[in-house]
Amino acid sequence: DKGSVSTVKTTEHKKHPANDAASSLWQTPSSIVASTAPPRSSTESIAVPSARGTYEAKDLEESERERGNAEFKGGNFTAAVKCYTKCLGLKGKNYVAFSNRAMAYLKLKEYARAVVSLCFF
């Protein structure tokens, strides 16, 4: 019949004592966290990293690269390498500093180090 509706017999699952115990275990972590967390006052401040710190690191990175350029122009290639390496240690993404350091190594005739310096691109 088009008008008849079929019914599905459902059975109620009985709660098993082991299921109740397991269920209570799953609820324990949040209750532990809530009970052991130190209370926060409404005036307590939370440390949030400053966006300015990013700019300061970028400024310091650029400053070291420029110092390296000045040392390179003055013919002090060892000092230039140190400045470029310090620049790269701050952030490590300044590709100009990688190539500048490689050029300083070439001037020092340290060819293997020049190649290794360029391998980080």
For Cα atoms 17, 23, 24, give the angle at the middle one, nearest 5 degrees.
95
pLDDT in tens, the chain (121 residues): 556 565 555 555 555 555 555 544 444 444 444 444 445 444 544 444 455 556 677 888 999 999 999 999 999 999 999 999 999 988 768 889 999 999 999 999 999 999 998 887 6
Q: What is the pTM of this model?
A: 0.53
Domains belonging to the chain, first-starting first, are: 51-118 (1.25.40.10)
